[in-house]
Structure 1
C-alpha cells in the first residue's frame, strides 16, 4: 500500500512546492492501493502549498445541438449524427455548483470539485476547477468566451503540469498551443448560467499529442511512485515549444484515426464563419 509520505516525497523531488499545478491523473497507474485515494494525492500537493487545478468538463452533459443558423464549416462536427446519450435535457443550464463532471476525466476531478474551498470556472462545457491558495485567481481567468484563460494564468504564475501515470493525450494545456499556432478553436453550444443558448469555444482531438513527445521530453522532471510514472513540466516552456512545433508542422497532432473529423478540421485551421 502506498502512503501519503510516498506522494509528498515525489512532490518534493519534482520541485513543485509553492507552485500552482495542473494535475492529470490515473489512480490505477499506481498498481497498488493508494491509502485514501484521490484525497491523499490532493493533500500531498496542498501540504506543499501547491494550488491544484484540473479539467472539470461537462461536455457532453450540457452540450446542445448546433442551431441551424449557427453552423460554421470545418468545425469537427457531423450534424447528421445523433446526440450523445449522456447529454441532459436541452433545458438544462450549466452552473458552477451543478456537481456534474464528465466521468471519462477520472476520479480525481470529481473529488476536487467537492472539496471545501474549491473554485470552478463558468465555461458551460469545459470548466476548470482548482483548490488551494491561488485557486480564485487561476479559475477567475476563465469565462464562457475564454476557455483557456486558466492555462495562461497558470503559465504566468510559473505553474507546472503534472502527469501522474498518463500520457500527453491528457495534457489539456496543449489545446492552447494549438490556438497559438494559428488554429481557431471549435465552436459548440450550451446554455450558460442565465439559461441563454450561446456558442462557446472548445478544444480538439488530443489523441495525436503523444507525437509531441520528442519536443517536450527534455522539459520534464520525472519521479516514480509505486508503478506510477510522474512527469512534471513547466507550463510556459511547454506552450512555447509545442506552439512552435505545431506551427512548423500542423500535421504533427494528427491522431491514428484516419477518419477523425476533429483532426481533419483542426489541422486545416479550424472553423470558418458561416
Structure 2
C-alpha cells in the first residue's frame, strides 16, 4: 500500500502496546505502552495498534485504522486479508519466507483449520484464539512465490516485496495441491503433522 506522504514530523508521546484485545490510534488517549519515545510520523497519519492475544499487528498510514479493525479474536489474520483486498504488498526485510506471517492466512484459505491457544482477554476471561503454527517449511513455497517477488540488496540485507493478493493465491494453490509442501525438515514436527492433516478436529469455540 502506498505510504502516507511525509510532512512535518510529529513525535508521539511515550506510550505502550495496548493490553490484549485493546485498540489504540494516535488520535485516542494513550494506553499503557512501551513504544519508542519518538516515532516520526506525518501529522495527518494514523497509527493504530491491536493485540489480540498471541498475535499483534501495528499499522501506520491513512488506512491504518481500516487494517487493524479487521482483527478480532475469531479472525486473527483479518488485517492480512484486508491488506490483500486493498492490493497491498508484503515486505520481507532481511528474512526469508519462514517469517512471512501472511502465509498462515494462506494455510487457512487452503482448507486447514489453524491451531488454537488459550489466552487471557482484556476483561480477564480465558478464551481460545487461532494462531500460526510451525513456519519453517514455508521456504518450500519459493518455486510458486519467487516469480512474484521484487528483490533488492540493501547493504548486507536482502529485501523482497510480494503483492499480497497474488502471493496468497499462489500459496493457497500450492498447499491445496499438496498439503505436505509446507512440512518443515523435521519429520517428527508435531505442529507440521497436525497442520498438514487439517488442524484441530471439529468446531473450535473461539473468542
TM-score normalised by L of structure 2: 0.79
CA contact (8 A) 1:189 1:197 kept: yes
How far is 1:209 from its partner?
0.2
Match of 1:212 in 2: 141
- Which runs of 5 or more residues in structure 1 are unaligned? 1-18, 21-44, 50-57, 59-91, 101-109
> Counterparts of 1:48 and 1:269 in 2: how far apart (Å)?
44
SS in 1 for 2:53: coil
> Counterparts of 1:226 and 1:176 in 2: how far apart (Å)?
31
Match of 2:127 in 1: 198
Greater helix percent: which structure? 1
> Counterparts of 1:247 and 1:160 in 2: how far apart (Å)?
23
CA contact (8 A) 2:20 2:52 kept: no
How far is 1:118 from its partner?
2.7
Match of 2:173 in 1: 244
Asked whether 1:178 is paired with 2:107, we answer: yes
1:103-142 alignment, distance < 5 Å: 117-142=46-71
> Counterparts of 1:269 and 1:136 in 2: how far apart (Å)?
32
Aligned residue pairs: how many? 181
CA contact (8 A) 1:94 1:191 kept: no
How far is 1:111 from its partner?
5.4
1:95-110 alignment, distance < 5 Å: 95-96=22-23, 97=31, 99=33
Asked whether 1:167 is paired with 2:96, we answer: yes
Pick closer, same or farther for the CA change 1:98–1:126 going to 2, 3 Å.
farther
CA contact (8 A) 2:20 2:51 kept: no
Match of 1:264 in 2: 193
CA displacement 1:52-94 (0-9 Å, x = unmatched): xxxxxx9xxxxxxxxxxxxxxxxxxxxxxxxxxxxxxxxx966
Match of 1:76 in 2: none
CA displacement 1:161-195 (0-9 Å, x = unmatched): 01111100000000111111110011111111111
Pick closer, same or farther for the CA change 1:111–1:181 going to 2, 3 Å.
farther
- Which runs of 5 or more residues in structure 2 are unaligned? 8-16, 24-30
Structure with bigger RCO (C-alpha 8 Å, 6+ apart) = 1
Among candidates 230, 233, 241, match of residue 162 of structure 2: 233
Pick closer, same or farther for the CA change 1:118–1:48 going to 2, 3 Å.
closer
CA displacement 1:193-252 (0-9 Å, x = unmatched): 111111111111100000000110000111221111111100000010000100101110
Pick closer, same or farther for the CA change 1:224–1:259 going to 2, 3 Å.
same
1:30-109 alignment, distance < 5 Å: 47=5, 95-96=22-23, 97=31, 99=33
TM-score normalised by L of structure 1: 0.60
How far is 1:127 from its partner?
2.0
How far is 1:98 from its partner?
5.5
CA RMSD of aligned residues (A): 2.5
